[in-house]
Amino acid sequence: MMKNLKMKYVLTTLAILLSSIAFAQETTIKLLDTKYYYESSEFKTYYKRLVSFNDTTYYVEGHISFDNEGKTIQKLDKFKKKVDYVKIENTNYTSMLKNYDKMAFIQFTNAEGNEDKIRNVVARLDKELMIANVASSNYLSFDKGVGIAEYFLTDADVAFQKIFNVLKEEKMIDDILLGHRVYMDGDDYNIEIFYPLKYEGTFWGF
């Protein structure tokens, strides 16, 4: 009887320890490769993306455009999990449409009534990204029930990782869209969302 109780205690302790370790581990997210093709006659930007999420690589195809109100429409065309390649090969697609500095985009989809909390979270992001010297704040704005924050990126991989994990720690990761600007022609750009991984929908990019 005593031996069984000891074994039960050991197993319970081990389970708690393993759970604590798993909780402490950061979620890993990294854009491995993204290529674009702009169809000017349709005003659509087509993309092919490889993203690593918790050490699993996903292949995503889709396209972005605008609706009549100026909102971004993002459509998912293909989604594959656990692919075994890290580069996209396609002669019709290019790595960048325009050679601009990378700009991170965060939309807080449930901003109404949560403006103060979002401001506090963005202030934390500003501080952590500045200390790491991987990004600088562009702006934070609220309109139409959502909040939008943008950052100029000097190290996109590190910046997106930090952004993701701060939002996860603040329990806001389920109420955000995470992406970046995609420039098309001159200063014209649209927004591509890469998290949630299977996102498609219509949103304000202002």
Residue 17 corresponds to which tokens in the numbers above? 């320890």
Please tell me the distance from the alpha carbon of residue 37 to that of residue 61, in angstroms, as a whole number. 11
DSSP letter at 174 equals G
Whether the CB-CB separation of 203 and 64 falls below 8 Å is answered with: no
Q: Model pTM? A: 0.84
Please tell me the distance from the alpha carbon of residue 29 to that of residue 161, in angstroms, as a whole number. 6
Whether the CB-CB separation of 68 and 47 falls below 8 Å is answered with: no
Residue 62 corresponds to which tokens in the numbers above? 């889709």
DSSP bridge partners of 202: 73
Task: State residue 81's pLDDT score.
Answer: 95
Residue-level pLDDT, tens digit, the chain, 206 residues = 555 555 555 455 554 444 444 444 678 999 999 999 999 888 899 999 999 999 999 999 999 999 999 999 999 999 999 998 878 887 788 877 665 668 999 999 999 999 999 999 999 999 999 999 999 998 999 998 999 999 999 999 999 999 999 999 999 999 999 999 998 877 789 999 999 999 999 999 87
Task: State residue 86's pLDDT score.
Answer: 77
